[in-house]
Copies of this chain bind each other. A is one copy, B any other.
């Protein structure tokens, strides 16, 4: 009796607590706790009664209280750029699988490429006392995380390294991948190659640009600055940029696209262009095989998995200095990069 209609103050539902279960089962509070947590030292008969009461009341343990008491939340946070971007879905999923294997839940949030929002999100996750944090940086200064890391929040950066702090990072070889992709175009006879990429303050954007310049330099080719277009990867901007490259006084005959969104837009723009233009894009895209689009593929799931595994190793007590892991990329030649350069 009296387990009903307690509390009329601040709470919505009227969730039963262990105390209620104990009362109903006629046992002590701690005994219920033992049953719920599968701890030994409870008679089968008592256990049965407790289970019955749990069933009857619809009791579910309050993990907030548990966390408060135990100090660990079995939750990790993932701050990424945009879950709607097909690059991050598989990455997030891979992190989730690793977390699940370690009995942890995943909270993820999108920064929308806004450094302030990244910080707001990351700190909100810390306030919830996530055990660890995986961050795909939008900003380039992560000193705001220093107190958190000192306080024991394991932190791993993915896709781009941390800014102004020393932390674990798992990256793709943006430089090498871009260099290989551009070299592929050069090998097929192209001399005037355009580069459309992300803002250079984003690490991957800068590295891919560097790879482009390296490949051109190695081949002894000049780079005219109007061939390089950096900035937002919105369809409007990219579309305008690509058109610009194609209508310049010395138009490019090939294009390197700095990420998946650029590639998608560039393909659309090029499809409307009269003469064929070669294209290699960074990141694979669904159906690119059917469209014959050559890409430098990175393995988003592997990035996520590697980062998550490192995170849990840290949580399991692995020490040592922060490390940087770089995963290789893979050139998938499918035709679009092999379009011959116009002669003359």
Q: Which residues of B contact A146 (CB under 8 A)?
A: 58
Chain B residues with CB under 8 A of A67: 64
Contact residue among B105, B267, B285, B289 (Cβ-Cβ distance under 8 Å from A109):
B105
Cα–Cα distance between A125 and B105 once the two chains are bound (Å): 9
Asked if A106 and B105 make an inter-chain contact with CB atoms under 8 angstroms apart, the answer reads no
Query: Are A82 and B93 within 8 A (Cβ)?
Result: yes
Q: For A127, list chain B residues within 8 Å (CB).
A: 60-63
Contact check: which of B64, B123, B125, B150 meets A128 at CB < 8 Å?
B64
Q: Of B58, B68, B148, which contacts A64 at CB under 8 A?
A: B68
Task: Report Cα–Cα, A126/B105, bound state, in Å.
Answer: 12
Given A12-B71, A64-B129, A126-B60, verify A107-B107 contact (CB < 8 Å).
yes
Asked if B152 and A13 make an inter-chain contact with CB atoms under 8 angstroms apart, the answer reads yes
Output the least CB separation between A58 and chain B (Å).
3
A143 to chain B, nearest CB (A): 12
Tell whether A329 is near chain B: CB-to-CB under 8 Å.
no
The answer to whether A2 has its CB under 8 Å from any CB of chain B is no
User: Residues 9-28 of chain A: 1 if any B CB is under 8 Å from the residue's CB, otherwise 0?
Assistant: 01111110000000000000
Contacts of A287 in B (CB 8 A): 264, 267, 285-288, 291
The answer to whether A5 has its CB under 8 Å from any CB of chain B is no
Number of copies: 2
Binding stretch for chain B, among A83-91, A189-197, A216-224: A83-91
- Does A92 have its Cβ within 8 Å of any Cβ on chain B? yes
Chain B residues closer than 8 Å to A301, beta-carbon distance: 84
- The reply on A73 being an interface residue by CB < 8 A is yes
**A268, B285: Cβ atoms closer than 8 Å:** no
Q: Which residue of B lies closest to A317 (CB)?
A: B12
B residues in contact with A65, CB < 8 Å: 68
Interfacial chain B residues near A306, Cβ < 8 Å? none
Expressed in whole angstroms, the Cα–Cα distance for A82 and B97 within the complex equals 11
> Counting CB contacts under 8 A, is A159 at the interface?
no
- Contact residues in B for A33 (Cβ distance below 8 Å): none
The CA-CA distance from A13 to B290 in the complex, in Å, is: 52
Q: Which residues on A are within 8 Å of B, measured CB to CB?
A: 10-15, 58, 60-65, 67-68, 70-73, 75, 82-86, 88-90, 92-94, 96, 105-110, 123-129, 146-148, 150-153, 264, 267-268, 271, 285-291, 301
Given contacts A58-B147, A60-B123, A84-B89, 14 further A-B contacts (CB under 8 A): A14-B151, A15-B152, A58-B148, A61-B127, A62-B68, A83-B83, A84-B93, A86-B86, A86-B286, A96-B110, A105-B125, A264-B286, A267-B290, A285-B287
